Amino acid sequence: MARAYYYLIAGLPDLFIDQDRKGFNLVKLKNEIKEHIHPNDYKLVEKLFLEYDNENFQNFLFEREKEFNPLGTIPKDLYKEFEDNLEEFPEYMQRFYLTYKGKNSDDDDETQEDDLYYSDEVEKIPEAKFQEVFYEHLKSFENRFLKEWYSFLLLFNNLLTAINCRKSGIDSTPQMIGKGELIETISRSQAADFGLKREVDFLEPLLQITEQTDIIDRERRLDMLKWDMADDITTFDYFNINKILAFLVKATIVYRWSKLDSTIGAQMFEKLVADIRKTYELPKEFEQ
């Protein structure tokens, strides 16, 4: 049975507003939430933040000179002696690292022909291969929000990649994550909407957003599309962990914009506070 967090969710506005808007500390906020939820539910929070661990892992492995993202759950120090600390990393990272370095001769034998995400039919860029291993790992997730959220991100990112590749006259196939009929359609369709307008609810607004010439406005609209999806997934959730996960998705967007653009960050901050307040205004059918 799902745990209810009435007091925590009702208190999120105060918890959030206590943060300094100019120095919004999402790591601190996440740790404060940790103190108020069940340990098993916090494991779901950590799974939500895996995308930041993935970012740090890829920056390390592919030798990108990018700043370490503190939102990940894996400490920066573990990267200093990476192979000595390899067992501290998630299994999918261990497996990909050993395969990438040519140290895992058994990896191909473990891959199943019906795996939805991992594919060796097309020579893909390393980043896409890593994401396929990651999404294969996600099949073990049982939480509804995480399943729907990551499924959305997978489709969102594949479509965005295909749109950008099409504009640049580049074949998107090596960058597609996963395999199957949908991926084939996205990679090969010549239709403006990839022939998926009826199947993908957010495709039309996504196509409109990608036509924006103002880069800042384009990025803001893309993030708001993600924001709206987090709301859609939790339409019928009120005081459970899914609502907290959706809140954290939005908080990461606010955090990002607080660093990119203080004005937009402040606007999103206010929107998030307003959204939180609506969270504990129960629908009429509950007011009996």
More confident residue, 16 or 68: 68
Q: How far apart are CA 190 and CA 180, in angstroms?
A: 18
pLDDT tens sequence across 104-114? 755 554 544 44
Please say whether the beta carbons of 52 and 72 come within 8 A: yes
What burial class does residue 66 get, using C-beta atoms within 10 Å of its C-beta: 0-12 exposed, 13-18 middle, 19+ buried?
exposed
Residue with tokens 């993600």: 226
Predicted confidence (pLDDT) at residue 1 exceeds the cutoff of 70: no
Quick: pLDDT tens for 187-218: 999 999 999 989 999 999 999 999 999 999 99
Q: If pLDDT is split at 50, 70 and 90, which confidence band does 283 have?
A: very low
With CA atoms as reference, report the closest residue to 36 among 59, 4, 14. 4
Domains of the chain: which residue ranges? 111-211
Task: Convert the pLDDT of each residue in 18-64 to its tens digit.
Answer: 555 545 688 888 988 999 999 999 999 999 999 999 999 999 999 99
Q: What is the pLDDT of residue 254?
A: 85
Q: Which amino acid is at 142?
A: E
**How far, in Å, CA of 49 to CA of 198, rounded?**
31
Query: To 10 degrees, the CA torsion angle through 142, 148, 152, 154?
Result: 10
pLDDT at residue 158 is higher than 50: yes
| Alpha-carbon separation of residue 183 from 69, 154, 194 (angstroms) | 30, 11, 10
Longest dimension (CA), the chain: 63
